[in-house]
């Protein structure tokens, strides 16, 4: 089965449709599938539901899909770095489903594991719990959260082999593994594709069985907030 494609556009060919749900890996601007996001923008696919920790910044990452009004709803845990996100949400142009970060990660992991839902204490007694089933276990109240199953997962990895086995680099191994597993189809962009057999099996973070398509590319790796100390 061919998994390696020549461009992000080719890797997404035949997978995009209006109204689809996309799970995107990354945290802030770290480990985001920037090439695949740009390809989705260029394809013009609209009315998207996107599950991701956040929506990037105004002009980079998932923020570019907000600029072009291609996103109908975000399922996120942090949105504080994107002024356009805030503007669209407050004006009623964008739907938002807030999730605690751990809950969002577990919803993706559960979806990928075939688990339709799970109970968690996180969010009990807050607006997060409104409208959700409550259940008591051992004297403690929990709320039911549903697993996420996306039409498409887009993730960013450091290395891959032709079978789709992935290795993530440092903190880029954040939402990428759970996001990858919860999609019906997973497309991964990587910095390097290495020969089959060259990856130590004990160092593989995500087995290739979860990954359907791979594309290698150059990445900007923009810094979200550059912080420096004044010279002494």
Give residue 178's pLDDT: 97
Distance (Å) of CA 170 to CA 101, 174, 232: 18, 9, 30
The arithmetic mean of pLDDT across residues 103-125, rounded, is 97
Q: What are phi and psi of 121, to 5 degrees?
A: -80, -20
The tens digit of pLDDT for each residue in 163-191 reads 999 999 999 999 999 999 999 999 999 99
What's residue 83's pLDDT? 87
- Taking all residues of the chain, what is their mean pLDDT, rounded to a whole number? 95
What's the mean pLDDT in 128-153?
Answer: 97
pLDDT tens digits along 57-67 = 888 999 999 99
Residue 76: closest CA among 86, 91, 87? 86
Asked if pLDDT for residue 1 goes beyond 80, the answer is: no
Count CB neighbours of 213 within 10 A: 23
Q: What DSSP state is assigned to residue 229? A: P
Residue 13's pLDDT is 98
Task: State both tokens at 71.
Answer: 């996103």
pLDDT at 223 over 80: no
- Quick one: pLDDT at residue 56? 86
DSSP-assigned states of every residue in 127-156: GGGTTS-EEEETTEEEEEEEPP-BSEEEEE
Model confidence at 226: pLDDT above 80: no
Q: What whole-number distance in Å separates Cα of residue 10 and Cα of residue 225?
A: 32
pLDDT in tens, 23-34: 999 988 899 999
Distance CA 99, CA 114 (A): 20
Verdict on whether the full-model pTM lies above 0.85: yes
Domains and CATH numbers, the chain: 4-216 (3.40.1080.10)
CA distance 2 to 29: 29
CA atoms within 13 A on the CB side of 123: 22
Predicted pLDDT of residue 224: 75
């Amino acid at each position: 089965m061919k998994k390696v494609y020549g461009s992000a556009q080719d890797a997404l060919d035949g997978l995009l449709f209006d109204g689809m749900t996309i799970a995107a890996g990354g945290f802030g601007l770290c480990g985001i599938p920037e090439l695949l996001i740009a390809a989705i923008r260029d394809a013009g696919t609209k009315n998207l539901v996107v599950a991701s920790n956040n929506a990037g910044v105004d002009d980079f990452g998932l923020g570019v899909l907000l600029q072009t009004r291609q996103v109908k709803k975000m399922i996120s845990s942090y949105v504080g770095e994107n002024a356009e996100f805030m503007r669209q949400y407050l004006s009623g142009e964008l739907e938002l489903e807030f999730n605690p970060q751990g809950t969002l990660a577990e919803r993706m992991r559960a979806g990928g594991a075939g688990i339709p839902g799970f109970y968690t204490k996180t969010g009990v007694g807050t607006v997060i719990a409104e409208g959700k089933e409550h259940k008591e276990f051992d004297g403690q109240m929990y709320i039911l959260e549903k697993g996420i199953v996306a039409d498409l997962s887009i993730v960013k990895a450091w290395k891959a082999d032709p079978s789709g086995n992935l290795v993530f680099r440092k903190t880029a191994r954040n939402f990428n593994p759970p996001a990858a597993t919860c999609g019906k189809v997973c497309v991964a962009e990587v910095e390097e594709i290495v020969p089959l057999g060259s990856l130590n099996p004990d160092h593989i973070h995500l087995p290739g069985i979860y990954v359907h398509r791979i594309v290698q590319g150059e990445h900007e790796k923009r810094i979200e907030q550059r912080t420096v100390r004044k010279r002494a």
